Each structure stands twice: as structure tokens, then as C-alpha cells.
């Protein structure tokens, strides 16, 4: 991979596929010493569907919590 005059880089297709990066996806960029690290940032809806699950909530519990929050906000 080569860096252009405007410091633009293009990921090779094989690298993007291996990392699961898709066109239009947002990436976080970090610098660690002389290394540049790119990390995909999941869309909140994708994260909810594909991310790790750590709790179980029934629809009724969710609805009750939602109603309580709405009462706090809107009175």
C-alpha cells in the first residue's frame, strides 16, 4: 500500500474483507508509537444486533422502563 500526496491510503480489498470493513463504514484511527491502527466503529443498530449480549430483558420489563423514563422526561 502506498500513501498519496494528500496522505490518502486505500485498503487492499483482501485486507478490508479480512477485517470486515465495508464501504462507507466509520473507522476510528489511533496512533501507537509508529503504528497506525484502524478500528471499525459499529453503527448502534448493528452493534445491538451483532454485538455481544450481556443481559436478558423481557418485552414487559423494557416497556415498563421506557414508560418510567418517559414520565421522568415529559412528566
pLDDT digits (tens, 9 = 90+) for 1-12: 899 999 999 999
d(CA 66, CA 64): 5
Q: Which sequence spans correspond to the domains of the chain? A: 13-74
Burial of 21 (0-12, 13-18, 19+ CB in 10 A): middle
Cell readout for 43 is: 453503527
Read off the pLDDT band of 52 (50, 70, 90): confident
Nearest Cα neighbor of 26 from 2, 55, 49, 46 is: 46
pLDDT given for residue 49 in this prediction: 83
Q: Report pLDDT digits (tens) over 10-51.
A: 999 999 999 888 888 889 999 999 999 999 887 788 778 877
pLDDT given for residue 54 in this prediction: 82
pTM given for the model: 0.52
pLDDT given for residue 34 in this prediction: 96
Amino acid at each position: 500500500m502506498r500513501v498519496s500526496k494528500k496522505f490518502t491510503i486505500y485498503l487492499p480489498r483482501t485486507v478490508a474483507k479480512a477485517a470486515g470493513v465495508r464501504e462507507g463504514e466509520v473507522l476510528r484511527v489511533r496512533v501507537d508509537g509508529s503504528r497506525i491502527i484502524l478500528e471499525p466503529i459499529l453503527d448502534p443498530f448493528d452493534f445491538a444486533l451483532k454485538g455481544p449480549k450481556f443481559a436478558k430483558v423481557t418485552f414487559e420489563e423494557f416497556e415498563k422502563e421506557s414508560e418510567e423514563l418517559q414520565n421522568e422526561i415529559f412528566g
